[in-house]
Structure 1
């Protein structure tokens, strides 16, 4: 009997040793864990729990109250799509490979927005929350895997808890600082992070304008509107036609002005365009938080939503530039006076400046103007003006969330965070023609 026990013990030891070789632990098998972030929008919270009968180390996330059916599911780290489709009890799933043996899975989706082989950026939409496969209600099934083995989940630097009672996690996948510019050859460059190097040009040339919103990058190239989701995404032909005048993106809403000054809008990159929402004569379109604004016939028009009614914000023919940020509206008239107001139905206060402005920008409480070749900014309508860049050589300005400011001076791109901070040289060579910042 003793000999039998020893033989059994030896056999078990050999089997366990073999299992340890064949099924390595995540810590031993994979490279450094990626910096995974919550696969939903920054600042939003989700309750989560683990069910013992499910896949080891998987977690189910749900938005309260009543679920979050149809809300975006975001890439928790940059990677390559290795699976995008129906997979048994997972329903609609997307699996990303992040390198170093690490991957992530999102499942039960109601829609999939990516395809196999596609490179995606952190925070890029993979699909929408659903209840496909073995699911009893809308929720997000999420896994992190190391060499194919489910690993304990870490999001935003926090190791999540595993227990049957719901716990809450707040997403910290806040957008990175993205900067973009167009050079004199019409090549577009974009990068994430103020101190990062610029990757190669995103296009072959001929662009005249670049716009950023969320993960979207849009460019106007000749008479064509192109857009892509993320720096590594593929370009989508949004619209083309001789004489295109302007383009705009806000979130998942896209708009352009055609040669007749008609404005077309759509929600969703793959949706059809609306019929023209105006009668023509527009030269500029701006989008923000549901608002659509037009510079049309020397006047400022705005409406909330594609199907809303137009409001005449400022009549023509003297308006030369317009801007919207949330519920704040601004314009510049032909004398260079800048006006701003809070609320679409509020009266306009007096002019904010003494004249000479040609551009106005709004962002997160800041008002910026390009005036006499200088960049001036003030916080709030009743704040005091600061000269951020003078000397008469400023040709373009940009504002971003988080107190980011940018300008073109003598063909070079400069940016800084904070009105009183020093300027960073973003791109030199005297070739910069258009800039934008998304933070």
Structure 2
């Protein structure tokens, strides 16, 4: 992990300066790229236990991958990630392995990148007896059974999470997601994309629902990962109303970020605990852990990473609503959003699809979808009906790009046609061929 808090020491003088930081992310359409991130649970093939950091666990895996041309990222001397070109491999708190892909021009490159990553992981993890399964929530392990990785920022978050929500530690240790990062061309373009993608994020959550088990039994949800986020930290999660207010733009989002409580500050390579503190106070030199020191632009860049809204604005937009899934689903997620947002006509059609939806209605849908998935409804229409329209619009958007990328929507076509999510299919297996043994999900979900 880089240390952005120490990389840009420019003092913060005003909120407008923060707005300009977001604005610098704007790019002409010819330079728009696709960045895909996905997480997956490691497991011992013989016991299904989650590998620890060490011995014979995640650290050894990272060291094996480093021998394939990756540069280690260290935290207090411990390898906690890898970097190669514009891509990185990182660890979530319980050792979930994440690929943060390079910014690529098309979905074919996304597929190739994913395949290469999984091959490398197999080559290193296979002889160690470790497999990986991308599922939205860990289907077997208790929270207490999950290991913790030696990352300084996670220790701070681990202590703070129980103060603001019941399920924050589950979010950290027992969830996996897939997300896509997309560019914007201007402030107006960002606003339109942000509003459309926030409104449709519950639809994506339903389509990608893949977490129906907790501790070996059905949990009553199709995306328990999404439900966990509902009780993690209301001060930094969910659907931010500010995005739908008149006058929303870079500066309004910057103001929103300033009101999100802090977690930490990086100084001299160390994470300092500032959990619950005000970033506005830090800007005024009133942060208890750094008395008299004023926040820098690097500190703000760090702080932005602690905003966990369903769509997050950095210098690009992150779509954060989906459970991790099999390789076809991992590529279908960027296909869905690129199709909806990167073609002007498709984006207008998507905006028309959600026109009139209020923040309250979108939040109500967000609350219903973890349990009901495609059966949830908004304005008299089921999510399945809305998803059918959204996938059709995405297909038109991808066809307009002329690259043959629409083939990657095939898994979503099947889900919409059948009305069965990946979670529904796991449940059918559990009640049928598996004879109530949820452990079988690992052998079928392994990538």
Same fold (TM over 0.5): no
Q: Where is the strand percentage greater, Structure 1 or Structure 2?
A: 1
Structure holding more helix per residue: 2
User: Highest relative contact order (Cα 8 Å, sep 6+), 1 or 2?
Assistant: 2
Q: Say which one has the larger Rg.
A: 1
After TM superposition, the score normalised by the length of structure 2 is: 0.29
Task: Normalising by structure 1, report the TM-score.
Answer: 0.29
